[in-house]
Amino acid sequence: MKDEEGEITVTLEEDEEEKTGDLINTSKYRERSDYRGSSGEPQQPHDADEAKKSLKKHPRRPTRKKTHCCSDCGKSFVSSGHLKSHQRTHTGEKPYSCAQCGKRCTQSTDLKKHERIHTGDKPYSCSDCGKSFVFSGQLKSHQRTHTGEKPYSCAQCGKRFTQSTDLKKHDRIHTGEKPYSCSDCGQSFVFSGQLRLHQRIHTGENPYRCAQCGRSFTQSSSLIVHQRTHTGEKPHSCDQCAKRFVSSSTLTTHQRTHTGEKPYSCNQCGKSFSQPNGLIVHQRVHTGEKPHSCDQCDKRYSDKRSPN
């Protein structure tokens, strides 16, 4: 087929057909030779065997040579069209433009694939659940949810992933890379989702609302935990005393009463606490801060529970 500039190019499907054309033709010949001879009459089994032997001796057309070489990287191609498409990876040229959104592509086939996003065409369907996808790569990744295949492994910790993009994101945990920065305060994050949640601190957005009491939350997980105060559900149980809790974080805090762990330490005097709130209240001893006042006499306290 011809591209927009008039040069003959071969699509991947056409190229594969050329490579396998001889095999397809000989396969058809094999199928016919198993049943009929040159006279058109049915063959006997021993005649079919002879035909198969002759087929094996039949010379195949030689594979097309890759005579077109890239001057930048040395990679070779069977046609000038393939070479021209490849060279755009070096030049950055993207001659094919989407009429809907203006996105540019290096190849006309890439543009056709991209246009499915606008048309809604999803030609790739999962044989297990029927879900359809725009791109074949999306289908391949999705099918791993059925097979459980996780071909991408972290070299640092061995954690496995279904997609290479998920592995790349995970790698940031080890490298310390935080590419997502808050435009309001400059704080950086490993994942875009973390930044999105953080920005709600600045915007005040609380999109998750409790249907029982109307209280709103920045995260769906916070709403789920809150709803347990209405249902009475306490799914997290202490293995030391069997006491139950609404969230895993409250269970972790409770377990420190058994282990004696005090991970929160004052940088002024070194005193340690099992809970972060304990450290916050303690630090007011050093700062002199007394945010709680008596509504009877206006006396102020560092801790609202303080009797003095």
pLDDT, residue 242, reads 87
Range of 287's domain?
A: 264-301
Domain boundary among 121, 153, 177: 121
Whether 8 has a pLDDT exceeding 60, the answer reads: no
- Is residue 84 one of the residues assigned to a domain? yes
Query: Residues 269-307: pLDDT tens digits?
Result: 999 999 888 899 999 999 999 888 888 888 888 887 765
Domain boundary among 86, 121, 156: 121
pLDDT band at 57 (very low <50, low <70, confident <90, very high): low
200 in Cβ contact with 206 (< 8 Å): yes
- Is residue 219 one of the residues assigned to a domain? no
* Beta bridge pairs of residue 36: 42
- Nearest 5°: phi and psi at 289? -70, 135
Provide the CA 235 distance to its chain's centre, in angstroms.
30
Give the DSSP H/E element, type plus range, for residue 269: none
- Is residue 229 one of the residues assigned to a domain? no
- Is residue 202 one of the residues assigned to a domain? no
Whether 45 has a pLDDT exceeding 60, the answer reads: no
CATH of the domain at 99: 3.30.160.60
Number of domains in the chain: 2
pLDDT, residue 26, reads 36
3-state class of 201 per DSSP?
Answer: helix
Domain boundary among 121, 143, 158: 121
- Is residue 281 one of the residues assigned to a domain? yes
Measured CA to CA, the distance from residue 140 to residue 124 in angstroms comes to 9
Higher pLDDT: 21 or 204? It is 204
167 in Cβ contact with 151 (< 8 Å): no
Whether 48 has a pLDDT exceeding 70, the answer reads: no
Among residues of the chain, what percentage have pLDDT more than 90?
A: 61
pLDDT, residue 14, reads 32
- Nearest 5°: phi and psi at 228? -70, -20
- Is residue 30 one of the residues assigned to a domain? no
Measured CA to CA, the distance from residue 287 to residue 294 in angstroms comes to 20
Query: Residues 116-151: pLDDT tens digits?
Result: 999 999 999 999 999 999 999 999 999 999 999 999
224 in Cβ contact with 210 (< 8 Å): no
Q: 41: number of CA atoms within 13 Å, CB side?
A: 3
> Residue holding tokens 């005579």?
67
Instruction: Select from 156, 127, 153, 154 the least CA-distant residue to 142.
Output: 127
Whether 3 has a pLDDT exceeding 70, the answer reads: no
Q: 271: number of CA atoms within 13 Å, CB side?
A: 13
Instruction: Select from 87, 103, 104 the least CA-distant residue to 7.
Output: 87
CA distances in angstroms from 269 to 134, 272, 273, 301, listed in the order given = 60, 9, 12, 21
- Is residue 87 one of the residues assigned to a domain? yes
* Both tokens assigned to 249: 């974080």
Query: Residues 243-277: pLDDT tens digits?
Result: 999 999 999 999 999 999 999 999 999 999 998 88
- Is residue 96 one of the residues assigned to a domain? yes
Among residues of the chain, what percentage have pLDDT more than 70?
A: 79
106 in Cβ contact with 93 (< 8 Å): yes
